[in-house]
Amino acid sequence: MSLVKEFTKGLVKENPVFVLLLGMCPTLAVTNNAVNGLGMGVATLCVLFGSNIVISLIRNVVPKKVRIPCYIIVIASFVTIVDLLMQAYAPRSLYEALGIFIPLIVVNCIVLGRAEAFASKNGVVASMCDALGMGLGFTLALVVLGGSREFLTSGSLFQIKLIEGWSNDFMLMGQAPGAFILLGVFLGIINWHAIRKAKKAGQSYTPPGLDCSTCNLCDLGED
């Protein structure tokens, strides 16, 4: 696979949120507006980029039996660094809105998932491209979801009101139920489109991400 393909696959074809369905916790929790979605996405992108590079560098040094604890240490370190930097330099309101979900990037499935499924098997440059693609795909998905929810809540986008007569917020969309409803709608549209495309080509449809190329959890028990 070429480097370009490693990068672009995360954006649409294997989008972490809409296709692989990884990292649902921040996806649902912080996307009540586009700015929060962007902030969360960029924070995750930084962690993913750093951890993928380091894990790819140490992949031949670390004994296989302790690789998961080692990866977690690497990921947790990057998350703490991002957390400290955000406290120091990000706008206070953004840091407070994202709150507990910044430290929780440690347990975001995308980060450990990419470490285990990609960075531990590929070179540094390829891992970098993979991290950038996956991180940008995650950011894109969060901004789309956050932006749609913000627009349906109050008719604004990036905190600028587009429909000025909209005075009473539609709180359902701003709260957790709205996140579930809208994510469901998006997933439905994406799956419907994929199934239709497969049918037209005369093939049966297998959702990507459900084959062994993107997941190697079966290996966890082995030496």
Partner 1 sequence: MSKQTNIPVLVISLALIAGIAAALLGWVSDVTKVPIAAALQENNNVALQQVLPAFDNQPANETKQVGNVTFYVARKNGVVVGFAGKTISNKGYSGEVTVLAGVQLDGTITTVIVTKQTETPGLGTVVCGRTRKKTISKRIKGIKETGLPPNPILDQFRGMKATSGQAPWAVKKDGGDLDAKTGATITSRAVGGAVFTIAESFAQNRTELLKENN
Residue 83 carries which side chain, given as an amino acid letter?
D
**Rounded Cα–Cα distance for residues 67 and 7 (Å):** 25
Query: Quick check: 61 binds partner 1 (CB under 8 A)?
Result: yes
# binding residues, partner 1 (CB under 8 A) = 32
**Rounded Cα–Cα distance for residues 149 and 132 (Å):** 25
Nearer to partner 1, 79 or 136 (CB): 79
Helix count and strand count (H, E) for the chain? 9, 2
Sole binder of partner 1 in the list 12, 66, 125, 195 (CB under 8 A):
66
Sole binder of partner 1 in the list 13, 25, 169, 192 (CB under 8 A):
169
**Share in percent of the chain as helix, strand, coil (round to 5):** 70, 0, 30
Sole binder of partner 1 in the list 1, 159, 188, 195 (CB under 8 A):
159
- Which ranges of 99-157 would DSSP assign to H, the alpha helix? 109-114, 124-154
CB of 123 to partner 1, least distance (A): 20
CB of 83 to partner 1, least distance (A): 10
Residue 163 class from Cβ within 10 Å (0-12 exposed, 13-18 middle, 19+ buried)? exposed
Query: Quick check: 60 binds partner 1 (CB under 8 A)?
Result: no
Neighbours of 139 (CB within 10 A): 22
Nearer to partner 1, 57 or 190 (CB): 57
Query: Quick check: 106 binds partner 1 (CB under 8 A)?
Result: no
Strand partners, 156: 161
Nearer to partner 1, 7 or 78 (CB): 78
- Who contacts 166 (Cβ-Cβ below 8 Å, separation ≥6)? 154, 155, 156
CB of 120 to partner 1, least distance (A): 14
Q: Quick one: which segment of 1-9, 166-174, 202-210, 211-219 binds partner 1 (CB under 8 A)?
A: 166-174
Query: Quick check: 87 binds partner 1 (CB under 8 A)?
Result: yes
Q: Any idea how long the chain is? A: 223
Q: Which residues bind partner 1 (CB under 8 A)?
A: 58, 61-66, 69-70, 73-74, 76-77, 80-81, 84-85, 87-89, 92, 156, 159-162, 164, 169, 171, 174-175, 223
